[in-house]
Structures are given as C-alpha cells and as structure tokens.
Amino acid sequence: MATRATPSVSQNDLNGLITLLDVQVIGLSECLVSPGFKLVIDGHSAPGLHYIIAGSGKIHVRDELSMELKPHTLIIAPPKCPLEIEVPVPDDSNAMITRVLARTEYAQMVDSIYRFNAGESEPKTIMICGHFQALYGSSLDLFGTLSSPIIEHFDPDDHLESRLKAMLDELMAQEIGAGAMAAALLKQVIVALLRRSLKSNDLWEARFSILSDPKVARAFAEMVADPGANHTIRSLADTANMSRSTFMARFTNAIGRAPMQLLRDLRMKQAASQLGMGSYTIDQVARNCGYASRAGFARAFKDIYGAEPRDYREVKRT
C-alpha cells in the first residue's frame, strides 16, 4: 500500500511551535540488562524516553506488543505506560528469564544518576532511560495523547547517542545551567524524531495528534506565539479559515482542550515566567497576558498555580 502524503502543517507553523516547545528533563538514568534478565520499568505520569546504546533484546508493552531492539533504537513511552526490556540468553530459547524492577531502591547512585543493573554477566544491553515533559503552557504535553510507544530506529550518523550521553554528563556534573543544557540536548532529540515522523501522515497523526489538523495547528501556533494578544473564538476561527462552531469542534478534537481554556493555560505559563524573572510589576504581567483587570488575572493565576501572583513571585525570589 502506498505511503500517504506528508502532513500539510505549514513549515512556518511547525518551526514556530518547535521553537516555543518547553522541554524539561525530569530524570535520566543508565539501565544495563544482562542475558537472561528482564528489566521492568513502571509507568510514570510523564512520557518516558529509552535509547539503546549497545546490545540487543526485546521490548514488551502491556502484553500487547513485542519488538526486537538494536543499537540506536529510540523509544518514547506514553504516560503511565509500563515497559519490559528483555535480553534473552543466546542460543537458549528455553532459558529462564529473571525479572528485575527498575526502582530507585534497587539502583546504584553514580554521580547523582541512578544506574539500574539487571544481572552481572556480559555482554550487557546498555540503555539511557528517563522521563521528560514537552509542554505548551503548563499542562499540554506534545506526547500526552500517545496511545502506544513510538519506536524509531536511527543511524549512528544521526548523533542521538552523543546528545543523550552529553545529557547524562551534564546531569552528573551538576554545574550551573545543567538543567538548561540537558533540556536543550533533549529538544534536539525530539526535533530529530519530529523530522523522521514527517515522512507520512500515518506516522505524524499517530505520534503527534495535537498537530494533526493543519488548520487547527495554524491557530494554535498563533496562540502559543503570543498568548497575550486579543484572541477570541472569532479571530482564531478566522485564522483557521473555519466557522466558529467548526473551529471549536475541530480544535477540541485535535488538542483535547477548548480553545479559551488552553489560551488561559498558555497565558498563565507566560505569567509564571515573567513573575519569576522579577523585572515586571504584577500589573505589567497582567497586561502582557491579555488581562485588563488585575483581579481577574490574579484569580486565573491562582486557579492554575494555587498561589497569588505576589506570593508566587516572592517564593521564586528566595
């Protein structure tokens, strides 16, 4: 069957959305699995990342999917999706497999990085594993709607291994700006995956459903680029070249949130950033986020962050 055409989201919209994607590394670890062992990785509230550095094996997902793994395989696991990484004993399909749980109480701490060892014999399958967020606003995750893991085989020339090893080095060294450096390196990995996924609509829609509708993506890109602008349902529908009712339905279907609900989230994320900087007054932050009323802004901010803007700023200053 022929491959479907590549997604029709415009390059300008994609560039803008990628630029403004807020990537955060929650944690990173080394995982080593010996032949005859299976490493069981519990689901996490955030998406998971697993990259095979060396060795081979199989990945099992919810007893529904099994796939062969090899070096330079990247796996992005949906939130709350448990995985099992199995390394069979060569030439012995009947050998017993020992299960080991990837939990901190069973790990070694090496320079502030957890190392999970499943077995001691060589050769080991070596992975870099972790969890991350790729956010628009404070809660819309690019990978939040994944229904099954993304499994993509890369080439050595794609240099994902060097970027992920550099992330580990940054987090182990814990120098100034380590979090920002690790996030920037992870963003490069995500961009590489985005580029691979542009090969066909089938891949794109399965992996990035919130960007699957090009007309909705155009309006979404405007919201992300300037949350404080005077956006309305009418103006956003005009940007998407749709009627109000069609826009509301298609936006909610693609993004999973109503437009104005998401806009408030984007505005509050911008407000939190500006309050943390400490260079704006609260009235200025409110206006920058599109609020004419300081009281209305304070209510919206407290709904999202659980604190008054003034209190939030004071905490960030300490």
d(CA 209, CA 255): 8
Query: Tens digits of per-residue pLDDT, 121-149?
Result: 888 899 999 999 999 988 899 998 888 89
Stretch 66-72: mean pLDDT, rounded?
90
Going by CATH, does the domain composed of 11-203 fall within 1.10.287.130?
Answer: no
Long-range contacts, 100-104 (Cβ 8 Å, 24+): 100/37, 100/38, 100/39, 100/40, 101/40, 101/42, 102/29, 102/31, 102/39, 102/40, 102/41, 102/42, 102/129, 103/42
Query: Which sequence spans correspond to the domains of the chain?
Result: 11-203, 214-317
Are 11-203 and 214-317 equal in CATH topology? no
Tens of pLDDT, residue by residue over 185-214, are 999 999 999 999 988 778 888 889 888 899
How sure is the predictor about 260, in pLDDT bands with cuts at 50, 70 and 90? very high
CB atoms within 10 A of CB 73: 21
pTM listed for this prediction? 0.86
4-22: b or e for each residue (b if 16 or more CB lie within 10 Å)?
Answer: eeebebeeebbebbbeebb
Predicted local confidence at residue 3, as pLDDT: 46
pLDDT averaged over every residue in the chain: 89
Q: Are strands 125-136 and 48-54 parallel, antiparallel or unpaired?
A: antiparallel
The arrangement of strands across the sheet holding 37-41 comes to: 65-69, 57-61, 83-87, 37-41, 98-101
Q: What is the pLDDT of residues 287-301, one digit of tens each?
A: 999 999 999 999 999
155 vs 96, higher pLDDT? 155
150 DSSP β-pair partners: 76
Which fold does the domain 214-317 belong to in CATH? Arc Repressor Mutant, subunit A (1.10.10)
